[in-house]
Chain A
């Protein structure tokens, strides 16, 4: 933004100098402007007039920007009004004006921020929590910043049922109210949440909610109506979330550390004693012991005989069960 602004400012400065040095009148300028707007609305510096102006504006470069800022509107100059269709390059384009306007606005804001806004803190007040006894209802509206949106008409109201006790409801009335509102009731927080978007406008929806709450309270208080005391509160719509807390006895305090250390030491001692007394059971040892036992067992004579190699000629007899050993079976 800075570069074009600078260019426009420079241009304006040149014009001012021209205005001051030349004797052109306002009527001139006005008539030129009218003509100009009809013919060319968005002009910029044209190359046609350049050679004539090249020499002169050098001296006026250092003109103060703010000196002309108030007057530009009137001070549009026209050097050659009678040359129709020719573009005067000393004039500011409408885009330029817009940019200048913007810049001015910005400056205004900056000024406000610098001078006025620090004074706002003198208006600050301490936050006071709204008293639930006086204002039990918490309303929620939605804005889409002027845009049309189907949800912008929605109004939500929340209230804690126990806060309504200040409105002259007894405990049994509150219990009935909890049953009446059904699934809008949150049994963990004791809060009822109601919403309405059936009507066209926010105000209508809010009105409806307010009326409904009034009706609910009236119904809850009504001594002639059913008190629903025989019906248990239905909380099937709500999923209770378990709130896990770190168990107190799991915390590693100094005492607990010492206790654990003592336990481990006792276990170690016991284990050491077991090792000393050779009471540790090991699978490998059990398998080895069994193997040794089997090795020591005296082999049955028939098995030993079967193990003996026979001369080749008798092999067949043995297989046929004709040897002496085989017959003994």
Chain B
């Protein structure tokens, strides 16, 4: 593997850049009795900032000097606060009779009966979803006593897909992209899919923001494939992802054993559990990408061949897929932008989504387009419109011969299923608004007049807008 020196800024190594990602980086063995031979590294001189003579442009009289005895926010502290996910509000009323999504009601028929009702997530589900970073701070989880979501028509359809995959005994894969207006519930539907798959015992992988992979905020290094073009691995991101996966699928990973022969880095016995393997990647970002490859190889072993236990189906989801459908912000050695599909991790998702790589044990690849922070990708837009028309057996809009399309994206989206999320039905709107009222967030009586009003003002039942208009709005 290439060295970790960043080609963009040669002064600093990546280890310094992303210290948070490295979990443990022992300089020497912690309990060694022998003294270290090497001399201590020379101490760096502390950089003393020169007190500048100018104190800003404002007029400073003796009276208006501000006493600042608070410390300035530490690096990343404000971002952490901004990204904090709060899943409970003790001031909200506990909703009586709020059932959880569980294995019992996880069949199409049972869920169909529960349509337009709000279902909670059990504790294990919440822990797993939390580990996957599937909850987002903007989704209003902090308003209610505990996380719950509306069962809508599309949820039942997704469960139908999951059941269809399971019925195929591993030969079936569902590849889908969710899109729709802003606030129409794409990310939450993805979250529901993850929760349902997790309850069904699937292996769940979720990339909460595809943007993080392409905006050049995380390290990358070239990986030369034999006889192929240069691709780029993102070690630190892979490391973070492995940690999320480990936390969310702990129960599965500890039961599955390594069955194949791998050039495993580190001291890992051949029959060790997959958890041990993932741990290697979590500890060392440098090994994260090889570990990811080995893990994937292990997971996609056909269950009949694997000695380490039957492999579960895989649910692989990614939010904000529009960001990996264009050029990324990374530069190659010639200072040309790298296409997002040349980054190995997004590429892996794309290969699965487009069906070029198969899931021998079955599974589901689910991407969602983000509308709040939309990356411009006209090829994706056109591909979505085309695929939807093909799905509905209409004449698909032709590719304009005079517009430059992204060939990679065109190929990737070929034959991918799309699902457009629209507004809720009135019945579903009633379900969610009654839940708001039961939580004490709407004080009025939920009459059909109120529902119609909220539904109409929300652009035909866009659920995010209903929430904004009824619960979040403060007059």
Contacts and interface: CB of A to CB of B under 8 A. Distances in A.
Interface of A: 232, 234-236, 267, 270-271, 280-287, 290
A267 B427 CA distance: 12
A281 B438 contact: yes
B31 interface: no
Please classify how large the interface on chain B is, using the bins under 10, 10 to 19, 20 to 34, 35 or more.
10 to 19
A281 B444 CA distance: 9
B475 to A, nearest CB: 15
A287 B434 contact: no
Interface stretch (B37-45, B388-396, B445-453): B445-453
Given A271-B448, A287-B93, A281 B401 contact: no
Contacts of B438: 281, 283, 286
B157 interface: no
Contacts, number: 47
A71 B447 CA distance: 101
Interface string B256-287: 00000000000000000000000000000000
B402 A283 contact: no
B448 A270 contact: yes
B448 A267 contact: yes
Interface string B445-463: 1111000000000000000
A284 B443 contact: yes
Contact of A283 (B94, B401, B442, B448): B442
Interface string B121-145: 0000000000000000000000000
A297 to B, nearest CB: 13
Contacts of A283: 436-438, 440-446
Interface of B: 93-94, 401-402, 434, 436-448
A116 B447 CA distance: 81
A234 B437 contact: no
Nearest to B433: A281
Contact of A281 (B94, B402, B446): B446
Contact of B402 (A236, A267, A282, A286): A236
A234 B437 CA distance: 57
B443 A232 contact: no
Between A232, A271, A287, the greatest number of chain B beta carbons within 10 A of the residue's beta carbon is seen for A287
A282 B440 contact: no
A283 B401 CA distance: 57
Contacts of A235: 402
3 closest Cβ pairs, A-B complex: A282-B445, A283-B443, A283-B437
Contacts of A232: 401-402
Contacts of B402: 232, 234-236
Contacts of B441: 283
A285 B434 CA distance: 12
A286 B447 contact: no
Contacts of A281: 434, 437-438, 445-446
Contact of B444 (A267, A282, A290): A282
A287 B448 contact: no
Nearest to B440: A287
A280 B444 CA distance: 10
A287 B447 contact: no
B446 A280 contact: yes
Most chain A beta carbons < 10 A, residue from B94, B434, B439: B434
A267 B430 CA distance: 13
B444 A286 contact: no
Contacts of B401: 232
Contacts of B439: 286
Nearest to A271: B448
Given A232-B402, A283-B445, 11 more contacts: A236-B402, A267-B448, A270-B448, A281-B446, A282-B445, A283-B436, A283-B437, A284-B443, A284-B444, A286-B93, A287-B440
